[in-house]
Structures are given as structure tokens and as C-alpha cells.
Amino acid sequence: MPAVPLNQINKEVLISDKHIYIYSTLQADNETAEGFNEHSTIDRYNLENGMYEGSFYIPNRNGEKIKSMIISGKNFIAIHPKKMTLFELKQ
């Protein structure tokens, strides 16, 4: 058992159609600390070929990152502590 708790890297994972969406809590090498602290990063991969298709960013609301996410059809719903925001996914 580790002496300190392990850091959680992937906070949530969703599968929709032929894609997997990963909400990562780890700052990417190409991201500034300021940018990382202003949004939540969602990575998208193709399940058929395993290829990375890109990332998109959900802005913080009232200084808070998203707590959860839902995908319904072409809609991505970001759930913040006190608000939900609807985005349209590009296929």
C-alpha cells in the first residue's frame, strides 16, 4: 500500500457510438498551468482504430471544473456543481 494516495488521472470515461471520451485531470505537456486551471479537457479516441482524434475544452463555471459529463446523441452535457452546459459534438 502506498504511503500517499495515488493521483486520479482519468476522472470519467464515456463511450458513445464509435468514440471514447476521457476527462483527464492531468495537465498535458503542451498546456500552460493557467490554461489548464481555466477549463476541463476532454480527449476523444476512435474505438474502431484506437486513434486519437483530438481534445476539446470545457470552460470552468464560477471557477470550477466539471464534475461529470453526459453524451446524448450529438450533445455533450457538462455538469458543473451548480450548472449544466450543452455543447454540440462535431462528428
Domains located in the chain, CATH noted: 10-88 (2.40.10.480)
Residue 2 per-residue DSSP state = -
Residue 70 is predicted with a pLDDT of: 94
pLDDT on residue 79? 95
Q: For each of the chain's 91 residues, which pLDDT tens digit applies? A: 566 666 777 788 999 889 999 998 888 888 888 888 899 999 999 999 999 999 999 999 998 999 999 999 899 999 999 999 999 988 6
Task: Report the pLDDT value the prediction gives residue 35, as an integer from 0 to 100.
Answer: 81
- Nearest 5°: the CA angle 25, 29, 15 is 45
Q: Which amino acid makes up residue 18?
A: K
